[in-house]
Amino acid sequence: MVEAIRLLSLREGIEHVFTLGRMDSLHELGILDNDEYDYLVGAFRHICRLLLRQQIKDFKAKNDVFNYVDPDSLSEREKDIVVDSFKAIRELRGLVKGEFTEDIF
């Protein structure tokens, strides 16, 4: 998601260096519609929250810290949100693929 947002932002001349700021600008420019924007911002925040929670847990336990969260450690609600988040990210990747390669299928 971060790379896709970065590519769109570079194309549009957006100078923000943070993903959420880039998403705000892409939304303001109409590149991301209201639904895309809401889903992607929610996805970004949820995934970051889950990663940070796991990393803090690993750090406190003196374990190696990675960008991995065991799906079995998530509540059913968290799993549902992750699934929705990945759907939004997949749609974003399709948008970027279509925009940059003209491949619509």
pLDDT tens digits, 70-81: 999 999 999 999
pLDDT of residue 68: 95
- Average pLDDT over the chain, rounded to an integer: 94
- Burial label for 91, CB within 10 Å (0-12, 13-18, 19+), is middle
**What is the model's pTM?**
0.87
User: Rounded CA gap, 37 and 46, in Å?
Assistant: 14
pLDDT digits (tens, 9 = 90+) for 28-62: 999 999 999 999 999 999 999 999 999 999 999 99
Is residue 104 predicted with pLDDT exceeding 70?
A: no
Instruction: Pull the structure tokens for residue 84.
Output: 């929705």
> For the residues 93-99, what does the mean pLDDT come to?
89
For residue 15, the model assigns a pLDDT of 93
Contact call for residues 88 and 40 (beta carbons, < 8 A): yes
pLDDT (0 to 100) of residue 52: 97
pLDDT of residue 75: 96
Domain of residue 24 covers 2-101
CB 32 within 8 A of CB 71: no
Number of domains in the chain: 1
